[in-house]
């Protein structure tokens, strides 16, 4: 179910193994929804590890759940990854398109005796499960068909193909994050690799795709640890059959929790990546910096550039414990990147948001002024939404709407003062910050007032609010004619 613009690698394209060398990582989301922030961190760690080692970072869309996989979700995943700069080094592989290759491997396992036909019915499986529950023991498939003679196979019954998991000994994974993990082989079940309709299961597809894509390091959430032991059964069986199926290195990273320690959910801000961009107005470099600090760091460094991260990152330095998502820290970090961002780039991003706030905004006409205002607007903003709201006064047509707090400053005395200010500014020989400041300071001195007594009603008349960039910046950005017109609209 690929988008029209994306390349689908058919089963034959990767079959037989990859000729890639060195470190190869992959990010393999299921397209059943948006790109979750936890998934974005997994993609980032895969990307960083590959870049650190001069390797290859690949994408695979695990779209075997046909009922839930959608084009919209696929597009959202690609869109989010591209925004973060985490697009794959090669066109994405679509898992469903490789079903024939997955089935081919299943039949090899079957023919070599590493898998078997299982004719257990759903009713028989349910009875086995109920017996295990009654006896208070873990349910493990103990199929009578595991070692059955082919002569006993029914000819009129459907069957699944199950892998033959080892029953003795133990399997140890030297996990690069979690350290050594041991599982008794008796705990690994004979899971299904081909369904009764001949379609491959997820567990089989993942193993075959990782092999054919040449993946050397599987970096994913620690909720997949149990899957690693089950997948190794397949890998080692295929290695025994044809060689060239090495165990990948595993690195299972802890999940992200909310600030309260509970599993991350929407109430913690666990939105799709697109929401951080579109609704919250965050910059991708801020999101990346924050995500890489969720479970990994370099000393006390908080601000880490992409180049530094590539140099410093190693998966073995990722923490074993869950990280806590703190939205306030993310917003603070975004404020830093807003202040550091190029003004032309920021103006372009803000220009996309302003039409919804100011109907009279015209990007073609007003972009130059918006760019000019960025140095004084961005120092006060934590995100693009705040930047856009802060810029509204520049493009709002007269008569300027005045909010409640600003209206409270426009008393009769203040309006009379505005009339005097307008006359004073109208006579100004130069319309620069320095000249305007000198003129108004002199006026305040003549009236025996502090400069703030002039600035407060002046700001209200010029912007319609009580917060804005410095008053002299506001005057110069609006220009003489517009500034005087706005002041006189509110003057007595």
Report how far residue 269's alpha carbon sits from residue 359's, in angstroms, rounded to the nearest whole number. 30
Chain centroid to CA 172 = 32
Measured distance CA(166)–CA(306) in Å, rounded: 44
Active site residues: 266
What is the spatial distance between Cα 359 and Cα 85, in angstroms, rounded to a whole number? 32
Q: Which residues contact 486 (CB under 8 A, 6 or more apart)?
A: 398, 400, 461, 462, 478
State the alpha helices, DSSP H only, in 264-403: 273-278, 284-292, 306-312, 327-340, 343-351, 363-377, 384-395
Is cis: bond before 399, omega within 30 of 0?
yes
Task: For residue 369, give both structure tokens.
Answer: 């002024």
76 in Cβ contact with 274 (< 8 Å)? yes
Query: Is 225 within 8 Å of 181 (Cβ atoms)?
Result: yes
Contact 411, 405 (CB under 8 A): no
CB-count burial class (<10 Å; 0-12, 13-18, 19+) for 309:
buried
CA quadruple 446, 452, 456, 458: dihedral positive or negative? Answer: positive
* Segment holding 172, helix H or strand E: strand 170-175
């Amino acid at each position: 179910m690929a988008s029209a613009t994306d390349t689908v690698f058919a089963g034959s394209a990767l079959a037989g193994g990859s000729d890639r060398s060195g470190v190869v990582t992959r990010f393999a989301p299921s397209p059943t929804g948006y790109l979750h922030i936890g998934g974005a961190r997994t993609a980032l760690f895969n990307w960083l590890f590959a870049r650190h080692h001069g390797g290859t970072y690949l994408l695979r869309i695990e779209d075997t759940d046909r009922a839930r996989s959608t084009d919209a979700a696929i597009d959202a995943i690609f869109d989010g990854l591209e925004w973060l700069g985490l697009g794959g080094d090669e066109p994405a592989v679509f898992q469903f398109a490789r079903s024939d290759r997955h089935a081919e491997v299943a039949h090899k396992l079957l023919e070599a005796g590493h898998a078997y036909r299982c004719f257990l019915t759903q009713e028989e499986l349910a009875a086995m499960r109920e017996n295990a529950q009654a006896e208070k023991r873990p349910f493990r498939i103990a199929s009578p068909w595991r070692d059955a003679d082919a002569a006993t196979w029914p000819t009129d019954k459907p069957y699944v193909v199950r892998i033959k998991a080892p029953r003795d000994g133990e399997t140890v994974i030297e996990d690069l994050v979690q350290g050594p993990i041991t599982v008794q082989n008796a705990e690994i079940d004979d899971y299904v690799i081909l369904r009764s309709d001949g379609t491959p299961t997820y567990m089989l597809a993942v193993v075959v795709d990782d092999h054919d894509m040449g993946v050397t390091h599987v970096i994913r959430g620690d909720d997949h640890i149990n899957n690693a032991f089950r997948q190794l059964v397949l890998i080692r069986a295929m290695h025994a059959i044809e060689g060239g199926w090495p165990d990948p290195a595993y690195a299972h990273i802890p999940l992200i929790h909310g600030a309260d320690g509970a599993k991350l959910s929407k109430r913690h801000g666990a939105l799709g990546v697109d929401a951080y961009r579109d609704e919250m107005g965050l910059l991708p470099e801020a999101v990346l910096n924050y995500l890489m600090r969720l479970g990994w760091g370099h000393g006390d460094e908080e601000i880490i550039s992409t180049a530094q991260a590539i140099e410093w990152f190693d998966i073995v330095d990722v923490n074993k414990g869950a990280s806590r998502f703190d939205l306030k820290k993310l917003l603070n970090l975004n404020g830093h990147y807003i202040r550091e961002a190029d003004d032309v780039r920021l103006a372009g991003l803000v220009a996309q948001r302003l039409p919804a706030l100011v109907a009279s905004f015209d990007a073609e006409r007003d972009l130059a002024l918006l760019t000019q205002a960025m140095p004084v607007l961005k120092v006060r903003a934590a995100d693009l939404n705040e930047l856009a709201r802060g810029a509204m006064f520049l493009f709002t047509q007269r008569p300027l709407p005045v909010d409640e707090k600003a209206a409270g400053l426009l008393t009769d005395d203040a309006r009379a003062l505005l009339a005097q200010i307008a006359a004073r500014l109208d006579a100004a020989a130069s319309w620069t910050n320095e000249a305007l400041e000198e003129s108004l300071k002199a006026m305040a001195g003549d009236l025996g007032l502090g400069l703030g007594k002039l600035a407060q009603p002046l700001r209200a008349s010029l912007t319609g609010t009580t917060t804005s960039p410095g008053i002299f910046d506001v005057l110069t950005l609006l220009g003489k004619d517009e500034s005087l017109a706005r002041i006189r609209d509110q003057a007595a």
